[in-house]
Amino acid sequence: AVIIFNEGQAGEGRADRRGVVGGTLGGTTVNLPVVGTTFAVGKELSAPGTVVTLTTHTEGDPKRRTHNVLAESRWGDPDRVAMLGAHLDSVPEGPGINDNGSGSAGVLETAIQAGGLQTRNRLRFAFWGAEELGLLGSKHYVAGLSAAEKAGIRLYLNFDMIASPNHVFGIYDGDDSDRTGSPAGPAGSDKIEKLFESYFRTARQPYTGTDFTGRSDYGPFIAAGIPAGGLFTGAEGVKTAAEAAKFGGRAGVAYDKCYHEACDTIANISDKALRVNSGAIATAAFTYAYSPVLPGG
């Protein structure tokens, strides 16, 4: 089953409210207190089975703390890391189930399934804080990497909004083949795009290229020259007639009409998009967990 990480958060995402959401990671129960738009976490995960202790912060404190949650496989070459990430925070206006409980759930499910596998390469999973405040968690993480740590990260995969109710299946356009104006990503990003394309063909699902301009947590990674890719099913943009013919759904309506709104609840999820995209996440993670050659070498 896919765990919707933000499920318990519905109606509790405001700065003056508290809630606790939970899930399991590597067999360990994880409870994340909701503090405003962020989650507060006591310590980082270093291996499956690590117990995470969580603390809340003072309600109404304008200076709030946010944390990234990182989980890493105990297996695989630590100098050859395939990294996956999703942001865990939402905006104050709503509970953030599609944005971004959906991506968090897909990455968490893959992390759980990967926990016991003796992979060739190292898998690292990131749940970012404060994406909505300007990619703060991912920027902080990349800024803190040494040159050697940066070189060890051979690719980064990002999942931000993967179950939009009026979805398309968008793949970040890492080679600028689909959209004029979207800059090509670091070398190797094209290979990630092609892997996702082959997944959708195998799954007999249509796909399209989508914005690769850095509007989510992969931005700091491509700025650092790390090849990246990811999936996106659409936000406030409006579905065209051509897209409705290709993907179904409703032309002239936003991909996610509840984007950054109170109605981004558990009802605001396409089960089909979540299912298909979760398969894409798992396929990419397991492919890169065993590949002798990775997009970043």
21 residue type, one letter: V
d(CA 297, CA 282): 21
- Strands (DSSP E) contained in 68-199 are 69-72, 77-87, 121-128, 153-159, 170-172
14-73: contacts with ligand PHE (CB under 6 A): none
Q: Which helix (H) or strand (E) holds 58?
A: none
C-alpha 263/C-alpha 267 separation (Å) is 8
Which of 228, 289 has the CB closer to ligand PHE?
228
| CB burial of residue 151 (10 Å; 0-12, 13-18, 19+) | middle
Q: Which does 177 bind (CB under 5 to 8 A by kind): Zn ion, ligand PHE, none?
A: Zn ion
CA distance readout (Å), 291 to 81, 180, 280: 11, 31, 16
Query: Can you tell me which of 203, 235, 262, 266 binds ligand PHE, judged by CB under 6 A?
Result: 235
In the set 72, 109, 175, 264, which binds Zn ion (CB under 5 A)? 175
Separation in Å, CA 248 to CA 170, 242, 243, 266, 271:
14, 10, 7, 21, 14
| Cβ 87 to Zn ion shortest distance, Å | 6
Q: Which lies closer to ligand PHE via its Cβ, residue 71 or residue 231?
A: 231
- Which residue number, 192 or 289, has a Cβ lying nearer to ligand PHE? 192
Return the number of the residue (72 or 131) whose C-beta is nearest ligand PHE: 131
Establish whether 12 is a catalytic residue. Answer: no
Of 122-130, 157-165, 197-205, 243-251, the segment contacting Zn ion by CB under 5 A is 157-165
- Lay out the site mask for Zn ion across 72-111 (x = CB under 5 A, - = otherwise): ---------------------------xx-----------
Which residue among 173, 211, 256, 264 contacts Zn ion (CB under 5 A)? 173
Count of residues binding ligand PHE (CB under 6 A)?
Answer: 10
HSE toward the beta carbon, residue 210, CA cutoff 13 A: 29
- How many whole angstroms separate alpha carbon 74 and alpha carbon 93? 38
Q: Does 211 bind ligand PHE (CB under 6 A)?
A: yes
Which is catalytic among the residues 72, 109, 131, 132? Answer: 131
Could you tell me the strand order of the sheet in which 28-35 lies? 18-25, 28-35, 38-39
Residues designated catalytic = 131
Q: Which residue ranges make up the site for ligand PHE (CB under 6 A)?
A: 99, 131-132, 160-161, 211, 215-216, 232, 235
